[in-house]
């Protein structure tokens, strides 16, 4: 079997450990792959504002995929290369449809300019000081990279089902954390963005190995030629992949890549 020509990996729960840190072992493997001219593409639900400390690990290919595929980022040029977002009118229509189905729903928005949220939206981490807070109709001021939905006191599976039904085919809902649904524009997935990046690099799907842990990784893992779930992955991910790697706390991605590439 020929070696993969490109590595795609989720970050949280997959590449970093449970405390959110990247081990020295993993850093070394990424460095060794860079020396071999094997692109490693981060494909994450994280917004741009969470990626600052990880961008230096992106190699010469200089591309990152964030916000579940809504943004393809050119790291070398420090600019958004592609953006597939939700326009204000469409975003407010989503809010209205979800509220009608689930009155307890509260909303936040990842915008190109930062983060905005309704006052009842509980986000204890990563909220920049001075982020706009107010009714959705006031704080959704530009294209939304993602619409975020919570509903305090609602069962997580009920939240997912109700939001998916309310959204229908007008947008793409997914989730990576219980109690939160992340909504992207219609057709936006990690897989779709990765396919475009691979097309530009001249890499076929069968020449890509990918790693993930949660349901928002499923489209990407189904698209690539070789798929791995880390051992701590969600059951739905473990069921569909080709292989299972050790957990993220055991540097599972690094272990597998060191074996594949004989590092």
When pLDDT is averaged across residues 236-261 and rounded to a whole number, the result is 97
Q: Decide if pLDDT at 1 tops 70.
A: no
Interior CA angle at 247 toward 241 and 248, to 5°? 110
CA geometry: angle 157, 10, 91, nearest 5 deg: 55
Per the prediction, the chain carries an average pLDDT of 93
Q: What Cα–Cα distance (Å) separates residue 184 from each residue in 86, 106, 143, 153, 202? A: 7, 16, 11, 24, 27
Q: 75 and 194 in one domain?
A: yes
Q: Which of 132, 150, 185 is the last residue of a domain?
A: 185
Same structural domain for residues 192 and 178?
no
pLDDT at 51: 84
For residue 113, give the 3-state DSSP assignment: coil
Residue 60 burial by Cβ neighbours in a 10 Å radius (0-12, 13-18, 19+):
exposed
The domain boundary residue, chosen from 185, 204, 239: 185
pLDDT at position 254 over 70: yes
Checking if the pLDDT of 109 tops 90, the result is yes
Does one domain contain both 134 and 146? yes
Range of the domain at 154: 88-185
Mean pLDDT of the 2-11 span: 94
Q: Which of 185, 211, 230 is the last residue of a domain?
A: 185
SS3 251: coil
> Three-class SS of residue 100?
helix
pLDDT on residue 9: 96
**E strand or H helix at 166, and its extent?**
helix 156-167
Per-residue pLDDT tens digits for 206-222: 999 999 999 999 999 99
Strand partners, 177: 180
What single DSSP character describes residue 57?
Answer: G
Q: What is the pLDDT of residue 56?
A: 80
78 & 196 share domain? yes
* Among candidate residues 68, 96, 66, the one with its CA nearest the CA of residue 81: 66
Of all residues in the chain, the percent with pLDDT exceeding 70 is: 98
Segment 74-102, tens digit of pLDDT: 988 889 999 999 999 999 999 999 999 99
Q: Is the pTM of this model over 0.75?
A: yes
Distances in Å between the Cα of 180 and the Cα atoms of 56, 103, 122, 218, 245 are: 29, 15, 11, 17, 26
Q: Does some domain include residue 1?
A: no
> Mean pLDDT lowest for which of 21-25, 34-38, 129-133, 238-242?
129-133
**What residues pair up with 74 in beta bridges, in sequence order?**
63, 79
Helix, strand, coil share (%) of the chain residues, nearest 5: 35, 25, 40
């Amino acid at each position: 079997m020929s070696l993969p020509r490109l590595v795609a990996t989720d970050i949280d729960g997959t590449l970093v450990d449970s405390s959110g840190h990247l081990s020295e072992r993993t850093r070394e493997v990424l460095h060794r792959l860079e020396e071999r001219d094997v692109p490693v593409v981060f494909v994450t639900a994280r917004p741009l504002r969470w990626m600052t400390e990880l961008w230096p690990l992106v190699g010469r290919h200089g591309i990152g995929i964030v916000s579940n595929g809504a943004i393809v980022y050119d790291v070398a040029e420090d600019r958004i290369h592609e953006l597939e977002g939700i326009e204000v009118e469409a975003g407010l229509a989503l809010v209205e449809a979800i509220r009608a189905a689930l009155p307890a729903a509260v909303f936040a928005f990842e915008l190109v300019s930062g983060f905005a949220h309704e006052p009842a939206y509980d986000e204890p981490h990563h909220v920049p000081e001075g982020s706009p807070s107010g009714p959705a109709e006031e704080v959704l001021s530009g294209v939304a990279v993602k619409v975020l939905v919570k509903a305090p006191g609602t069962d997580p599976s009920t939240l997912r089902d109700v939001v998916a039904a309310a959204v229908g085919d007008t947008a793409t809902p997914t989730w990576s954390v219980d109690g939160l649904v992340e909504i992207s524009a219609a057709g936006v997935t990690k897989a779709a963005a990765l396919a475009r990046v691979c097309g530009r690099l001249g890499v076929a799907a069968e020449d890509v190995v990918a790693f993930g842990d949660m349901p928002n990784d499923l489209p990407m893992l189904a698209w690539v030629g070789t798929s791995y779930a880390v051992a701590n992955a969600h059951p739905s991910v473990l069921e569909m992949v080709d292989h299972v790697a050790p957990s993220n706390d055991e540097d599972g991605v690094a272990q597998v890549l060191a074996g594949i590439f004989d590092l």
